[in-house]
Structure 1
């Protein structure tokens, strides 16, 4: 399991050493396929669902419904609000994740129930 969007503002210190502050990953312009990547993030398999909304850690007044939900594609896990940060602030994402997304033609693969349960257990240890 790999954590996508492992920014200090979004994940518990129990998850390990973050990539840094989300502020360090904000870019002025989107990548050419950003909208497809946003859709991919939104189509992941939900592992953990929380009631409520979270605020934008970068300071806008926007609130993201279900933003702290945890989602996966079977390899990576991310918070649901990552799609918001990508779309609004064009945050940079790891090249190996983007390669996986592009090679899958922006379609989240199916993941069997046993794999989802194992990932859920791993995530439970770091929240």
Structure 2
């Protein structure tokens, strides 16, 4: 399991050493396939679903419904609000993840119930 969007503002300390602050990954311009990558992020398999909304930690007044939900593609896990930050702030994401999304033609692959359960248990240890 790999954490996508492993920023200090989003994940607890027991998850490990974050990549840094979200602010360090803001880009001025969107990538050519940003819309497709955002759709991939929105299509992840839900592992943890929380009622409520979260605020934009970068300062806008926007609220993201279910933003702290946790989703996966079977290899990576991320918070549901990552798509918001990608489309609003053009966050740079790891090339390894982008390569996977592109190879899958921006379609989250099917993940078996046993694999989802295993990932769920791993995430549960760090939340």
TM-score (norm 2): 0.99
Q: How many residues align?
A: 127
1:96 maps to what in 2? Answer: 96
Alignment of 1:59-70 (within 5 A): 59-70=59-70
RMSD over aligned Cα, in angstroms?
A: 0.3
Match of 2:45 in 1: 45
CA drift of 1:101 comes to 0.4
Cα distance in 2, alignment partners of residues 51 and 106 from structure 1 = 27
Deviations 1:5-43 (A, max 9, x none): 000001111100000000000000000000000000000
The alpha carbon displacement at 1:71 in A equals 0.2
Matched with 1:7 is 7
For 1:77 and 1:61, the matched residues in 2 are separated by: 26
User: How is 1:55-94 mapped onto 2 (pairs within 5 angstroms)?
Assistant: 55-94=55-94
Structure 1 residue ranges without an equivalent (≥5):
none
- SS of corresponding position for 1:54: strand
Deviation for aligned residue 1:83: 0.2
Q: Deviations over 1:36-78 (max 9, x none)?
A: 0000000000000000000101011111000000000000000
User: Which runs of 4 or more aligned residues in structure 1 lie more than 3 Å from their structure 2 counterparts after TM superposition?
Assistant: none
Q: Report what 1:33 is aligned to.
A: 33
Aligned equivalents of 1:80, 1:48: Cα separation in 2? 10
Provide the TM-score with structure 1 as the length reference: 0.99
| Correspondence for 1:21 | 21
Distance 1:63 1:8 in 2: 19
